[in-house]
Amino acid sequence: MTLRIFNTQSGAKEEFQPIEPGKVRLYVCGITAYDYCHIGHARANVVFDVLFRYLKALGYEVTYVRNYTDIDDKIINRANELKVGSRELAERFMAAFAEDMARLGCETPSVEPKATENISHIIAIIRTLIGKGMAYEAGGDVYFSIRDFPGYLKLSKRNLDEMLSGARIAPGEQKRDPMDFALWKAAKPGEPSWESPWGPGRPGWHIECSAMSMRYLGPSIDIHGGGKDLVFPHHENEIAQSEGATGQPFARYWVHNGFVNINQEKMSKSLGNFFTVREVLEKYDPEVLRFFILSAHYRSPIDFSDKNLEDARHGLSRIYEALLGLGEVLDSGAAKPAPEAGFSAEDEEIWQPAERLRENFAAAMDDDFNTAQALGQIFEAVRAVNRVLAERRFEANGAWLRRLAAVRDRFRGCGEVLGLFQAEPASWLERIKDAGLGESGLSKEAIEALIVERKEARKNKNFARADAIRDELAAKGIVLLDSPQGTTWKTK
The DSSP-derived string for 339-365 is ------HHHHHHHHHHHTHHHHHHHHH
Confidence of residue 179 (pLDDT cuts 50, 70, 90): very high
How far CA 441 is from CA of 184, 328, 373, in Å, comes to 58, 30, 37
- The span from the CA of 65 to the CA of 217, in Å, is 8
With b meaning 16 or more CB within 10 Å and e meaning fewer, what string describes 309-342? beebbebbbebbbbbbbbbbbeeeeebeebeeee
Give the pTM.
0.93
- Collapsing DSSP states into helix, strand and coil, what is residue 31? coil
How far CA 244 is from CA of 131, 250, 333, in Å, comes to 11, 10, 66
* Mean pLDDT score, 67-82: 96
% of the chain beyond a pLDDT of 90: 77
- The span from the CA of 52 to the CA of 306, in Å, is 29
- The span from the CA of 118 to the CA of 214, in Å, is 11
* Mean pLDDT score, 301-308: 94
pLDDT greater than 90 at residue 26:
yes
Lowest mean pLDDT among 322-326, 333-337, 385-389: 333-337
Closest to 214 measured CA to CA, from 7, 16, 65, 69: 65
Q: What is the DSSP letter of 367?
A: B
* Mean pLDDT score, 344-370: 97
Lowest mean pLDDT among 85-89, 260-264, 308-312: 260-264
Mean pLDDT of the chain: 93
Over residues 87-120, the pLDDT tens digits come to: 999 999 999 999 999 999 999 999 999 999 999 9
% of the chain beyond a pLDDT of 70: 97
Asked if residues 4 and 367 have their Cβ atoms less than 8 Å apart, the reply is: yes
Closest to 396 measured CA to CA, from 385, 388, 386: 388
Amino acid identity of residue 426, one-letter, is A
pLDDT greater than 70 at residue 334:
no
The whole-number pLDDT of residue 446 equals 84
Which of the pair, 481 or 296, is modelled with greater confidence?
Answer: 296
The whole-number pLDDT of residue 274 equals 81
Lowest mean pLDDT among 111-125, 175-189, 322-336, 439-453: 439-453
The whole-number pLDDT of residue 480 equals 83
Positive or negative, the Cα torsion across 203, 207, 210, 214? negative
Q: What is the DSSP letter of 115?
A: G
The whole-number pLDDT of residue 171 equals 67
Amino acid identity of residue 322, one-letter, is A
The whole-number pLDDT of residue 166 equals 67
How far CA 421 is from CA of 177, 289, 310, 377, in Å, comes to 53, 13, 17, 15
Which of the pair, 302 or 162, is modelled with greater confidence?
Answer: 302
How far CA 173 is from CA of 77, 122, 205, 333, in Å, comes to 19, 21, 16, 76
Which of the pair, 282 or 474, is modelled with greater confidence?
Answer: 282
- The span from the CA of 380 to the CA of 50, in Å, is 21
Lowest mean pLDDT among 35-49, 342-356, 440-454: 440-454
Alpha-helix residue ranges (DSSP H) falling in 58-159: 73-82, 86-103, 119-131
Asked if residues 407 and 381 have their Cβ atoms less than 8 Å apart, the reply is: yes
Alpha-helix residue ranges (DSSP H) falling in 187-331: 205-217, 236-246, 277-281, 286-294, 306-331
Asked if residues 140 and 198 have their Cβ atoms less than 8 Å apart, the reply is: yes
Asked if residues 52 and 64 have their Cβ atoms less than 8 Å apart, the reply is: yes
Confidence of residue 160 (pLDDT cuts 50, 70, 90): confident
The whole-number pLDDT of residue 485 equals 66
- The span from the CA of 16 to the CA of 306, in Å, is 37
The whole-number pLDDT of residue 445 equals 84
- Collapsing DSSP states into helix, strand and coil, what is residue 190? coil
pLDDT greater than 90 at residue 422:
yes
Query: Residues 6 or more apart from 461 whose CB is under 8 A from it?
Result: none
- The span from the CA of 285 to the CA of 292, in Å, is 11
Lowest mean pLDDT among 84-93, 227-236, 361-370, 468-477: 468-477
Q: Is cis: bond before 219, omega within 30 of 0?
A: no
pLDDT greater than 80 at residue 167:
no
> Measured in whole angstroms, how far is the alpha carbon of residue 138 from the centre of its chain?
41
Over residues 439-476, the pLDDT tens digits come to: 777 888 888 888 888 988 888 888 888 888 898 888 88
pLDDT greater than 70 at residue 6:
yes
* Mean pLDDT score, 71-86: 96
Confidence of residue 487 (pLDDT cuts 50, 70, 90): confident
Top-ranked range on mean pLDDT: pick from 38-52, 391-405, 467-481: 38-52
Positive or negative, the Cα torsion across 390, 396, 398, 403? negative
Angle at 239 between CA 236 and CA 242, to 5 degrees: 145
